[in-house]
Structure 1
Amino acid sequence: MPTIENVDGVKIVIHNGEHRPPHIHAIYSEFEVLIEIETGKIYAGDLPTKQLKKAFDWIAGNKDLALSIFNELNPQLK
Protein backbone atom coordinates (compact mmCIF):
# COMPACT_ATOMS: atom_id res chain seq x y z
CA MET A 1 0.00 0.00 0.00
CA PRO A 2 1.94 3.04 -1.22
CA THR A 3 1.48 6.11 0.96
CA ILE A 4 1.42 9.15 -1.31
CA GLU A 5 1.55 11.63 1.54
CA ASN A 6 1.15 11.82 5.30
CA VAL A 7 -0.82 14.90 6.38
CA ASP A 8 -0.58 15.32 10.16
CA GLY A 9 -1.09 11.60 10.74
CA VAL A 10 -3.62 11.06 7.92
CA LYS A 11 -2.11 8.70 5.34
CA ILE A 12 -3.16 9.42 1.76
CA VAL A 13 -2.96 6.16 -0.19
CA ILE A 14 -3.66 5.02 -3.75
CA HIS A 15 -3.59 1.30 -4.58
CA ASN A 16 -2.88 -0.50 -7.82
CA GLY A 17 -5.45 -3.06 -8.99
CA GLU A 18 -8.22 -0.64 -8.04
CA HIS A 19 -11.79 -0.10 -9.22
CA ARG A 20 -13.73 2.89 -10.47
CA PRO A 21 -14.40 5.64 -9.60
CA PRO A 22 -10.84 6.97 -9.24
CA HIS A 23 -10.34 7.57 -5.51
CA ILE A 24 -7.88 7.93 -2.66
CA HIS A 25 -7.85 6.13 0.67
CA ALA A 26 -7.38 8.40 3.68
CA ILE A 27 -6.37 6.40 6.75
CA TYR A 28 -6.13 7.56 10.34
CA SER A 29 -5.78 5.11 13.23
CA GLU A 30 -8.53 2.50 12.76
CA PHE A 31 -10.54 4.77 10.43
CA GLU A 32 -10.49 4.78 6.64
CA VAL A 33 -12.42 6.74 4.06
CA LEU A 34 -12.46 6.54 0.27
CA ILE A 35 -12.81 9.91 -1.47
CA GLU A 36 -13.55 10.27 -5.18
CA ILE A 37 -10.74 12.26 -6.77
CA GLU A 38 -12.81 14.14 -9.34
CA THR A 39 -15.78 15.09 -7.14
CA GLY A 40 -14.28 15.13 -3.64
CA LYS A 41 -17.25 13.09 -2.40
CA ILE A 42 -16.99 10.31 0.17
CA TYR A 43 -17.33 6.96 -1.59
CA ALA A 44 -17.15 4.76 1.51
CA GLY A 45 -15.97 4.76 5.10
CA ASP A 46 -15.51 7.39 7.77
CA LEU A 47 -12.86 9.55 9.46
CA PRO A 48 -13.08 11.82 12.51
CA THR A 49 -14.09 15.36 11.49
CA LYS A 50 -10.68 16.98 12.00
CA GLN A 51 -8.87 14.31 9.96
CA LEU A 52 -11.57 14.27 7.29
CA LYS A 53 -11.04 18.01 6.77
CA LYS A 54 -7.31 17.38 6.27
CA ALA A 55 -8.09 14.69 3.67
CA PHE A 56 -10.57 16.98 1.86
CA ASP A 57 -8.05 19.83 1.89
CA TRP A 58 -5.36 17.54 0.47
CA ILE A 59 -7.55 16.22 -2.35
CA ALA A 60 -8.73 19.75 -3.21
CA GLY A 61 -5.14 20.91 -3.63
CA ASN A 62 -3.78 17.75 -5.28
CA LYS A 63 -6.56 16.56 -7.60
CA ASP A 64 -4.37 16.42 -10.74
CA LEU A 65 -1.54 14.65 -8.93
CA ALA A 66 -3.91 12.09 -7.37
CA LEU A 67 -5.63 11.37 -10.70
CA SER A 68 -2.27 11.00 -12.44
CA ILE A 69 -1.01 8.53 -9.80
CA PHE A 70 -4.30 6.60 -9.84
CA ASN A 71 -4.14 6.27 -13.64
CA GLU A 72 -0.46 5.29 -13.57
CA LEU A 73 -1.13 2.55 -10.99
CA ASN A 74 -4.35 1.41 -12.71
CA PRO A 75 -3.79 1.68 -16.48
CA GLN A 76 -6.57 -0.83 -17.14
CA LEU A 77 -9.12 1.78 -15.95
CA LYS A 78 -8.11 4.63 -18.29
Structure 2
Amino acid sequence: MPTISMFYGILVLMYFRDDRRHHLPHIHVRYQGEEAALTIDDGVVFDGSLPRKQLKMIQAWIEIHKEELLLNWELAVNGEEPFRIAPLQ
Protein backbone atom coordinates (compact mmCIF):
# COMPACT_ATOMS: atom_id res chain seq x y z
CA MET A 1 0.00 0.00 0.00
CA PRO A 2 2.18 2.83 -1.23
CA THR A 3 1.79 6.31 0.19
CA ILE A 4 1.37 8.60 -2.81
CA SER A 5 1.15 11.89 -0.91
CA MET A 6 1.25 13.35 2.58
CA PHE A 7 0.25 16.81 3.83
CA TYR A 8 -1.04 18.37 7.05
CA GLY A 9 -0.93 14.98 8.78
CA ILE A 10 -3.03 13.37 6.04
CA LEU A 11 -1.68 10.21 4.37
CA VAL A 12 -2.96 9.35 0.89
CA LEU A 13 -2.55 5.72 -0.14
CA MET A 14 -3.32 3.64 -3.18
CA TYR A 15 -3.34 -0.14 -2.85
CA PHE A 16 -2.11 -2.54 -5.51
CA ARG A 17 -4.86 -4.38 -7.43
CA ASP A 18 -7.58 -2.74 -5.30
CA ASP A 19 -10.16 -2.73 -8.12
CA ARG A 20 -11.45 -6.18 -7.17
CA ARG A 21 -13.14 -5.09 -3.94
CA HIS A 22 -14.53 -1.65 -4.77
CA HIS A 23 -14.54 -1.71 -8.61
CA LEU A 24 -14.00 2.02 -9.03
CA PRO A 25 -10.97 4.34 -9.02
CA HIS A 26 -10.37 5.48 -5.46
CA ILE A 27 -7.81 6.39 -2.82
CA HIS A 28 -7.48 5.57 0.85
CA VAL A 29 -6.86 8.37 3.32
CA ARG A 30 -5.66 8.21 6.93
CA TYR A 31 -5.72 11.00 9.46
CA GLN A 32 -5.14 10.64 13.21
CA GLY A 33 -6.57 7.14 13.50
CA GLU A 34 -9.45 7.73 11.10
CA GLU A 35 -9.59 6.17 7.65
CA ALA A 36 -11.75 6.69 4.59
CA ALA A 37 -11.91 5.62 0.96
CA LEU A 38 -12.82 8.34 -1.56
CA THR A 39 -13.63 8.14 -5.24
CA ILE A 40 -11.18 9.82 -7.58
CA ASP A 41 -13.93 10.99 -9.91
CA ASP A 42 -15.79 13.20 -7.44
CA GLY A 43 -14.15 12.87 -4.00
CA VAL A 44 -17.13 11.13 -2.40
CA VAL A 45 -16.46 9.11 0.76
CA PHE A 46 -17.84 5.61 0.26
CA ASP A 47 -16.19 3.89 3.22
CA GLY A 48 -15.06 5.25 6.59
CA SER A 49 -14.95 8.89 7.67
CA LEU A 50 -12.67 11.89 8.15
CA PRO A 51 -13.03 15.14 10.10
CA ARG A 52 -14.80 17.79 7.98
CA LYS A 53 -11.75 20.09 7.62
CA GLN A 54 -9.46 17.27 6.42
CA LEU A 55 -12.18 15.94 4.12
CA LYS A 56 -12.47 19.34 2.42
CA MET A 57 -8.68 19.50 2.00
CA ILE A 58 -8.45 16.03 0.47
CA GLN A 59 -11.38 16.75 -1.86
CA ALA A 60 -9.64 19.91 -3.10
CA TRP A 61 -6.41 17.93 -3.57
CA ILE A 62 -8.28 15.25 -5.56
CA GLU A 63 -9.74 17.90 -7.87
CA ILE A 64 -6.31 19.46 -8.48
CA HIS A 65 -4.59 16.11 -9.14
CA LYS A 66 -7.38 14.09 -10.78
CA GLU A 67 -5.43 13.25 -13.95
CA GLU A 68 -2.37 12.12 -11.99
CA LEU A 69 -4.56 10.05 -9.67
CA LEU A 70 -6.21 8.28 -12.59
CA LEU A 71 -2.79 7.50 -14.09
CA ASN A 72 -1.68 6.14 -10.72
CA TRP A 73 -4.87 4.07 -10.50
CA GLU A 74 -4.01 2.36 -13.79
CA LEU A 75 -0.51 1.59 -12.53
CA ALA A 76 -1.74 0.24 -9.20
CA VAL A 77 -4.46 -2.03 -10.59
CA ASN A 78 -1.82 -3.53 -12.88
CA GLY A 79 0.43 -4.21 -9.89
CA GLU A 80 2.89 -1.43 -10.70
CA GLU A 81 4.26 1.16 -8.27
CA PRO A 82 2.23 4.39 -8.35
CA PHE A 83 4.23 7.63 -8.38
CA ARG A 84 4.25 10.32 -5.70
CA ILE A 85 1.95 13.30 -6.17
CA ALA A 86 2.67 16.80 -4.86
CA PRO A 87 1.02 17.64 -1.54
CA LEU A 88 -1.58 20.33 -0.99
CA GLN A 89 0.21 23.58 -0.14
Normalising to structure 1: TM-score of the pair? 0.88
C-alpha distance in 2 between matches for 1:50 and 1:10: 11
Q: Which structure's residues are more often strand, by fraction?
A: 1
SS in 2 for 1:40: coil
1:39 paired residue number: 42
5+ residue gaps, structure 1: none
Kept in 1, the 8 Å contact 2:17–2:78? The answer is: no
Quick one: higher RCO (CA 8 Å, sep 6+), 1 or 2? 2
C-alpha distance in 2 between matches for 1:43 and 1:21: 11
Quote the offset at 1:7 in angstroms.
Answer: 1.6
Kept in 2, the 8 Å contact 1:7–1:54? The answer is: no
Name the count of aligned residue pairs. 76
Instruction: State the percentage of identical aligned residues.
Output: 32
C-alpha distance in 1 between matches for 2:18 and 2:11: 17
5+ residue gaps, structure 2: 80-89
Residues 55-70 of structure 1 correspond to what in structure 2 (within 5 A)?
55-70=58-73
Normalising to structure 2: TM-score of the pair? 0.78
SS in 1 for 2:47: strand
Q: CA RMSD in A?
A: 1.3
